[in-house]
Amino acid sequence: MSLSDARTALADDLAVAIAAIDTAEEARAFLADLCTPAEIHALAERWYVARLLDQGAMTYREIHDATGVSTTTVVRVARFLKQEVNGGYRRVLDRLRGAA
Protein backbone atom coordinates (compact mmCIF):
# COMPACT_ATOMS: atom_id res chain seq x y z
CA MET A 1 0.00 0.00 0.00
CA SER A 2 1.40 3.38 -0.97
CA LEU A 3 1.72 6.24 1.47
CA SER A 4 -1.06 8.05 -0.40
CA ASP A 5 -3.35 5.03 -0.15
CA ALA A 6 -2.57 4.66 3.55
CA ARG A 7 -3.37 8.31 4.17
CA THR A 8 -6.63 8.00 2.26
CA ALA A 9 -7.58 4.91 4.29
CA LEU A 10 -6.83 6.73 7.54
CA ALA A 11 -8.86 9.76 6.46
CA ASP A 12 -11.74 7.49 5.43
CA ASP A 13 -11.63 5.76 8.83
CA LEU A 14 -11.73 9.14 10.58
CA ALA A 15 -14.68 10.24 8.43
CA VAL A 16 -16.59 7.11 9.44
CA ALA A 17 -15.86 7.86 13.10
CA ILE A 18 -17.07 11.45 12.72
CA ALA A 19 -20.22 10.29 10.96
CA ALA A 20 -20.96 8.02 13.94
CA ILE A 21 -21.23 11.03 16.28
CA ASP A 22 -24.82 11.69 17.36
CA THR A 23 -24.71 14.87 19.44
CA ALA A 24 -22.77 18.10 19.85
CA GLU A 25 -21.67 16.87 23.27
CA GLU A 26 -20.22 13.71 21.73
CA ALA A 27 -18.54 15.80 19.04
CA ARG A 28 -16.94 18.10 21.64
CA ALA A 29 -15.65 15.08 23.60
CA PHE A 30 -14.28 13.43 20.45
CA LEU A 31 -12.56 16.64 19.33
CA ALA A 32 -11.09 17.16 22.82
CA ASP A 33 -9.59 13.66 22.70
CA LEU A 34 -8.48 13.86 19.08
CA CYS A 35 -7.08 17.40 18.80
CA THR A 36 -5.01 19.84 20.77
CA PRO A 37 -6.81 22.97 21.98
CA ALA A 38 -4.97 24.94 19.27
CA GLU A 39 -6.16 22.53 16.56
CA ILE A 40 -9.75 22.76 17.77
CA HIS A 41 -9.46 26.56 17.79
CA ALA A 42 -8.11 26.57 14.21
CA LEU A 43 -10.95 24.31 13.03
CA ALA A 44 -13.53 26.42 14.85
CA GLU A 45 -12.11 29.60 13.28
CA ARG A 46 -12.35 28.12 9.78
CA TRP A 47 -15.94 27.07 10.39
CA TYR A 48 -16.78 30.56 11.69
CA VAL A 49 -15.17 32.14 8.62
CA ALA A 50 -17.17 29.80 6.37
CA ARG A 51 -20.39 30.91 8.04
CA LEU A 52 -19.47 34.60 7.73
CA LEU A 53 -18.56 34.16 4.05
CA ASP A 54 -21.82 32.32 3.43
CA GLN A 55 -23.78 35.23 4.90
CA GLY A 56 -22.12 37.47 2.32
CA ALA A 57 -22.33 40.63 4.41
CA MET A 58 -18.59 41.13 5.00
CA THR A 59 -15.53 41.47 2.80
CA TYR A 60 -12.51 39.26 3.34
CA ARG A 61 -10.72 42.18 5.01
CA GLU A 62 -13.69 42.86 7.31
CA ILE A 63 -13.74 39.19 8.32
CA HIS A 64 -10.01 39.37 9.06
CA ASP A 65 -10.45 42.56 11.08
CA ALA A 66 -13.42 41.17 13.03
CA THR A 67 -11.94 37.74 13.77
CA GLY A 68 -8.17 38.09 13.65
CA VAL A 69 -8.06 35.15 11.24
CA SER A 70 -5.37 35.63 8.61
CA THR A 71 -6.49 36.83 5.20
CA THR A 72 -4.77 33.73 3.77
CA THR A 73 -7.11 31.53 5.81
CA VAL A 74 -10.13 33.62 4.79
CA VAL A 75 -9.20 33.24 1.12
CA ARG A 76 -8.58 29.50 1.52
CA VAL A 77 -11.94 28.95 3.22
CA ALA A 78 -13.65 31.04 0.53
CA ARG A 79 -12.04 28.93 -2.20
CA PHE A 80 -13.22 25.70 -0.61
CA LEU A 81 -16.67 27.16 0.02
CA LYS A 82 -17.17 28.43 -3.53
CA GLN A 83 -14.91 26.55 -5.94
CA GLU A 84 -13.64 23.19 -4.71
CA VAL A 85 -15.45 20.01 -5.64
CA ASN A 86 -15.56 18.56 -2.12
CA GLY A 87 -18.58 20.67 -1.18
CA GLY A 88 -18.10 19.96 2.51
CA TYR A 89 -18.70 23.46 3.81
CA ARG A 90 -21.66 23.98 1.47
CA ARG A 91 -23.30 20.66 2.36
CA VAL A 92 -23.10 21.25 6.10
CA LEU A 93 -24.13 24.91 5.88
CA ASP A 94 -27.17 23.95 3.83
CA ARG A 95 -28.03 21.04 6.12
CA LEU A 96 -27.87 23.24 9.21
CA ARG A 97 -30.08 25.77 7.43
CA GLY A 98 -32.54 22.97 6.66
CA ALA A 99 -32.02 23.06 2.87
CA ALA A 100 -30.59 19.56 2.54
- pLDDT band with cut points at 50, 70 and 90 for residue 98: confident
Tell me, what's the pLDDT at 2?
85
Give residue limits of the domains in the chain.
1-34, 36-100
- Residue ranges in the chain assigned as alpha helix (H): 3-19, 24-34, 37-55, 60-67, 71-82, 88-97
Contacts of 53 by beta carbon, 8 Å cutoff, 6+ apart: 63, 74, 77, 78, 81
Q: Biggest alpha carbon distance in the chain?
A: 47
Sign of the Cα torsion 69, 15, 29, 100 reads: positive
Question: 33-47 burial, b for 16+ CB within 10 Å, e for fewer?
Answer: eeeeeeeeeeeebbe
Segment 41-70, tens digit of pLDDT: 999 999 999 999 999 999 999 999 999 999
